[in-house]
Structure 1
Amino acid sequence: MLTVIAEICVKPGRRTAVLQAIEKLTPLVLQEEGCGSYQALTDYKAQVPWKQNSPDSIFMVEHWDSLRHLEQHQQADHMEAHRANIKNDVVDVKIFVLEPAK
């Protein structure tokens, strides 16, 4: 199983709108073949010196059975529509595809 961590950097003040779009998208993604989980997370407001702060980011944590499933997810019609819907709110996206350490 692969773990995907994606940081979606959004324009200031637009995080709620993008989160709402992700909330609508999530049931469709969870129905995709090979999707184990799909969750949006946001920065926890803790004032500690060792923590990174990303108040305008949304972090997606996803689990996929294989790279093929992840690639199919990226090409799904609902993902194309989602990206078009939020494109004016997003500054950058960083995607990490991870596997268990051996």
Structure 2
Amino acid sequence: MSDDFFDSRPKLCKATVSYHTDLQFQDRLSYIDKRYDHLRKLTQTLKKKINDLEDIMRQDNDEENMEQIQRLIEDIKREKQMMRDEAHIIRGELSQAMYNEDLR
């Protein structure tokens, strides 16, 4: 490539750099917001499964219901772990965004 190519590129100024930093911060906040929405949906799903479990437990405790109860308990455990993971990711992303913002 020629030197003309490099000379024709726009030069970065301080305003451009801070604009991109603001954009990165906003992008990270948007990402955190999406993760929070996902966590909220997981919470709603978990509440529904807990309600289903309570409904089944009110019925007779025959063999079929016991199998459903076991499946629901396993699903609830999985959902809780997914929620913990999601909350951990959100906390880490928010911490990183705040740290980067403090460095500016």
Q: TM-score when scaled to structure 2?
A: 0.30
Structure that is richer in helix per residue: 2
Relative to the length of structure 1, the TM-score reads 0.30
Report the structure, 1 or 2, having the larger strand content.
1
* Larger Cα-atom Rg: 2
Structure number with higher relative contact order (C-alpha < 8 Å, ≥ 6 residues apart): 1
